[in-house]
Structure formats: C-alpha cells, structure tokens
Chain A
Amino acid sequence: MRTRFQQQMEELREKLLRMGGLAELAVDRACQAYTERDLTRCHLVLENESLINAGEREIDELAFDILATQQPAATDLRFILAVTKINADLERVGDQAVNIAERVMDLIELPAVELPVDIGRMATAVSAMVRRALESFVEGKAELAQAVLEMDHVVDRMRDEAFIVLVRKMNEEPQATQQALDALLVARNLERVADHATNIAEDVIFWVLGADVRHHAQAAGAAPRPERTEA
C-alpha cells in the first residue's frame, strides 16, 4: 500500500467535501435571503465567497502536487480529474450564490410585490440537487449521481415557466418590472446552480464507472439530458 499517497487522496477528498459544504451553504443562504428579504444573509454569502475561493486554490494545488509526484492511475487518476472539475463547479456555484445575494441587496431597496412565481420551491429543488450530487461523491455511488441528472429537467422547466409568467407580469404591470426582472435573474442563477450540480454528478459517474456521460453520451438507462453549461 502507498500510505503517503492514500493520505493525500483522503486529504483531497476532505478538502472537496468542505468546499462542497461551503457552496451548499452559500446557495441556501442566498435563497433564504431572497425569500425573506434578509440583508444579513446576503452579507454572509459575500463573506463566505473568499473561503470558497481559497478552498478552490488549495484543492487545485494539492491535486497538482499528487499528479506531479504520485503518477496516479485508473480509479485514482479518474478521482483526481473528477475532483478538479467538481472543484471548479463548486466555485461557480459560490459565484451564482453571490449573484443572487447581490440581486437581493438591490431588491430590498424596492417595494415588495406579489409575483406569480415560487422561487422558494425552485431553490428547494436546486439545493436538493447540489446536496445529492455531493452525497453521490461522498458515497461514490453512480446511481445517486444518475438521479441528479434526471432532476435537471425539472429545474429547467421551472426556469422556463418562471420566464413566461414573469414576462407576462412585466407586460401587465409595468410598475413591477424591476422586481419581476430580479426574480427572473434569480431563477436563471438557480438554473445555473442546477447545471453545476449536473456537472458534478457527471464527474462522479466518470470517477466511479469510468464512463463519460457528458453531452448526451448516456450511461446505461439514463434519460437524454441537455448540454453541459459552462456558466
């Protein structure tokens, strides 16, 4: 057994899990900030962002170090490649949370209006996707990851529906345009978080099975999915 190597791999795994926890927390806080118009949570998301950025650098450095010194192969090599890609996706999840928080900070200045869209329900679905994608990584289970891929359609549909009803709202009540536009952009941010969760799930499948399921290349029994998003 290569003890030092195994220790480094475990360290990499733990660092990514911490990063995953931070990204998940950022999305949850940003969504709560939106639904509750809570400025404090917005600030927490912004503060959290520097931790996520530092985490991304640390993981990349450790992965680079392992690749350079240990020449990993097979499942270990796939694991490290998957970790570096998941790392980038988590950092972008953090960016989307910041975008939502900044949107909320603008929105709080405006009067509250009733909007025909349930951002809270969409946020719940997206958070579940991120959580399950990370669970599939923790458990090393491709079936859990596959379930995340299938959830992506639901979020895409929510975004499309939000778009239709919010545009109608803007047409019918021009005085609510700013609030409707903010809600539409938050829906888009959430849909992008869902895309990153999908990417993470694809990377877990690659690590566990060695199968590339990106861009419609399907694992056995998988439903067709939309293109991978580089948001």
Chain B
Amino acid sequence: MGVGIKVEHLNAFYGKTQALFDINLTVQANHATALIGPSGCGKSTFIRCLNRMHETIPDATVQGSVRIGELSVYNGTSATQLRRRVGMVFQKPNPFPTMSIYDNVAAGLKLNGFTNRKQLEEIVHKSLISSALWDEVKDSLHKKSGASLSGGQQQRLCIARALAVQPEVLLMDEPCSALDPISTGKIEELIFQLKEQYTIVIVTHNMQQAARVAEFTGFFLLGKMIEFDKTEKIFTTPSDKRTEDYVTGRFG
C-alpha cells in the first residue's frame, strides 16, 4: 500500500541559486497528486528532492524535512534504502538497452541481491501485468531487448521496473511527454489503477492530464508553491490569480 508524504519548509539550491522556497505540502497516500507550472518553476526539482536525486547534481543542496510514511528522507536514511520505497519514472523512457524485457524488470531486485528464481518470475509477471504490458510482451520476455519496444511500451516497461521493487510511492516526471496520444491514454489509465496500491506524484506540463489523473494539484511558480488544492478546484475556481492566469493560458 502507498504511504503519505509530508514536506515541511523545503528549500533547494543549485550552488548559491535557490530553486525552491519554503515548500510545505502533504501528499495523501493512495492518491495521485499532480504538480503543474511553467518551465523552470521548480516542480521537477521538487519531485527529485522526494527521492534524493536532487543531491546527485554537483553543488545541489536541500534544506528542510521530507517524510515518506514514517521514513525521514533527510535524516539518517540512505539513498538506496529510500529508493526501494520510492520508484521513479522519467520523461524519456530509459530501459537498459542491452537487457531483455525480463531482465529490465528484474534488474532492481537482482541488484538488491534477490536470487530466488521462481519468486523473481512471479514478481516480473505481476509487475508487467500491473504496468499493462504483459499481454504485449509475454511471448518475447527473454528474446527481445527493452530498446526494441515502442516508446509507449518502453515507458510501461520502466513503470514495471519501478514497480518490481515494490515501492510505496511512484514519482513520475512528465512520463507522457514523449508519447503519442494512444500511449499517453494507456499510461493515464495505468496511473488510475496504480493509485489503489501506490501513492503517485506526477509532474506534468499537460494540464488536461493533471485534470484527468490527479485528485490533488499543486501549482508552482518561480520556485514557490502558489496553490495546492483538489484538482477540480484548481481547474474550475482557483483561489490565486496567478493559478487562474496559468490554467487559462493568460500567463506570460
């Protein structure tokens, strides 16, 4: 099952440049939360602070508190420990190109020393079913490489790979921006099903996508979270003029 996320007074920096300013946010367990905002507003930086990917960039630093369930992200938890509980899917599908479909999904578990072959098969099967890819690849699990799949299939493979380590939270950074409408529709349908078991945070430039898949939406601007509310409120009667201007396309 998914767990909630509690972010308090989060500030993020790239060297001396501050990218996020005092973000406070509670993400509900087993719901999809969308983050929207113009390019450079800090939404991707924010999501990368949730699984400590931000600090992988030289000179990047974080202040404040993030809790994933009972786990304190910046207080004594190792990045490896954390990322077992927080999966991530990126804008561009990034399967391991030389590995088979099966090995792509099993990679995370194998890296963690998981060797039970029968259980591994079960988890790969379950993950591919959860990511709605099983029917399309079941006959070529070992024959085809991850890179041989279409863009939409590759993205679902990456979702299966993230699910295989049985995380509680799934972070998605513009997961459909490189996909056609059919593949986008499949991923959105998937998000809808996955939130029964996982907590999902999705960064998207596509406002209609946020409106379709997320129960809650946060609007970021210039590193600040301007408004956070139920998605229908953000898209019908936002409280802040800046949110209104952004969702109606009057921004800039």
Residue positions of A touching B, CB distance < 8 A: 1-2, 5, 71-78, 210
Q: How far apart are A73's CB and chain B's nearest CB, in angstroms?
A: 4
Pairwise interchain contact B244-A2, C-beta atoms closer than 8 A: no
Q: A210 CA to B244 CA in the complex, in Å?
A: 12
Query: Which 9 pairs show the lowest CB-CB distances between chains A and B?
Result: A210-B237, A73-B247, A2-B249, A73-B235, A76-B248, A74-B247, A74-B244, A74-B248, A71-B208
Which of chain B's residues 236-252 have a Cβ closer than 8 Å to chain A? 236-238, 243-244, 247-250, 252
Q: A148–B235 Cα gap in the complex (Å)? A: 28
- Per-position contact with A for B211-252: 1 when CB-CB < 8 Å, else 0? 100000000000000000000000111100001100111101
- Docked pose: A210 CA to B234 CA in angstroms: 12
Contact A78 B208 (CB under 8 A): no
Q: Are B236 and A77 in contact (CB under 8 A)?
A: yes
Q: Which B residues between 13 and 41 are near A, CB-CB below 8 angstroms?
A: none
Q: Which residues of chain A are within 8 angstroms of B211 by Cβ–Cβ distance?
A: 73
Of A1, A5, A71, A78, the contact of B236 (CB 8 Å cutoff): A78
The residue on B at minimum CB distance from A78 is B236
Instruction: Find the residue from A5, A74, A76 having the highest chain B CB count within 10 A.
Output: A74
Other-chain contact of A210, B207, B236, B243, B249 (Cβ < 8 Å)? B236
Query: Which residues of B sit under 8 angstroms from A210, Cβ to Cβ?
Result: 236-237
- Across the interface, name the chain B residue whose C-beta is closest to A2: B249
Query: Which B189-209 residues have a C-beta within 8 angstroms of A?
Result: 207-208
Please, which residues of chain B bring their CB within 8 A of the CB of A76? 248
Q: How far is the CB of A220 from chain B (nearest CB, A)?
A: 15
For B249, what are the chain A residues with a Cβ–Cβ distance below 8 Å?
A: 1-2, 5
Total interface residues in chain B, CB < 8 Å: 14
Chain A contacts of B252 at CB under 8 A? 1
Q: How far is the CB of A78 from chain B (nearest CB, A)?
A: 7
Complex alpha-carbon distance, A71 and B247, angstroms: 10
Known pairs A1-B250, A5-B249, A77-B236 / 5 extra A-B pairs, C-beta < 8 Å: A2-B250, A73-B236, A75-B244, A78-B236, A210-B237
Q: How far, in whole Å, are A155 and B237 apart by their CA atoms in the complex?
A: 33
- What is the bound-complex CA distance between A100 and B90, given in angstroms? 66
* Pairs across A and B, CB under 8 Å, 7 listed: A1-B252, A71-B207, A72-B248, A73-B211, A74-B235, A74-B243, A76-B248
CA of A5 to CA of B248, assembled, Å: 10
Q: Which residues of B contact A2 (CB under 8 A)?
A: 249-250
Asked whether, in the complex, the Cβ of A73 is within 8 Å of the Cβ of B250, the reply is: no
Residue of B nearest to A76 (CB): B248
| Complex-state Cα separation, A27 to B207, whole angstroms | 44
C-alpha spacing A157/B134, complex, angstroms: 69
CB distance from B103 to the nearest CB of A (A): 41
* Nearest CB of A to B3, in Å: 31
Shortest C-beta distance, A72 to chain B (Å), equals: 7
Given contacts A1-B249, A1-B250, A5-B249, contact A74 B236 (CB under 8 A): yes
Instruction: Quote the shortest CB–CB distance from B115 to chain A (angstroms).
Output: 50
A75–B208 contact, CB under 8 A? no
Q: Which of B211, B236, B248 has the most CB of A within 10 A?
A: B248
Q: Which residue of B lies closest to A81 (CB)?
A: B236
Which chain A residue lies CB-closest to B249? A2
With both beta carbons as reference points, the residue of chain B lying nearest to A211 in the complex is identified as B237
* A74 engages B237 (CB within 8 Å): yes
By a CB distance below 8 angstroms, the chain A residues around B236 are 73-74, 77-78, 210
Chain A nearest CB from B170 CB (Å) reads 26
Contact A78 B237 (CB under 8 A): yes
In whole angstroms, how far apart are the Cα atoms of A72 and B235 in the complex?
9
Q: What residues of A have a CB within 8 angstroms of the CB of B207 in the complex? A: 71, 73
* Nearest residue, chain B, Cβ from A72: B248
How many whole Å from B212's CB to the nearest CB in chain A?
A: 11
Contacts of B237 in A (CB 8 A): 74, 78, 210
Closest chain-A Cβ to B184's Cβ sits at a distance in Å of 14
Q: Quick one: closest A residue to B206, CB to CB?
A: A71
Q: Which residue of A lies closest to B247 (CB)?
A: A73
**B residues in contact with A72, CB < 8 Å:** 248
Contacts of A1 in B (CB 8 A): 249-250, 252
Query: Nearest chain-A residue to B233 (Cβ)?
Result: A210
Smallest CB separation, B16 vs chain A (Å): 34
Give Cα A74 to B234, complex, Å: 7
Q: In the complex the two chains form, what is the Cα distance from A51 to B12 in whole Å?
A: 61
Cα A55 to Cα B250 with chains together (Å) = 29
Residues of A within 8 A of B235 (CB): 73-74, 77
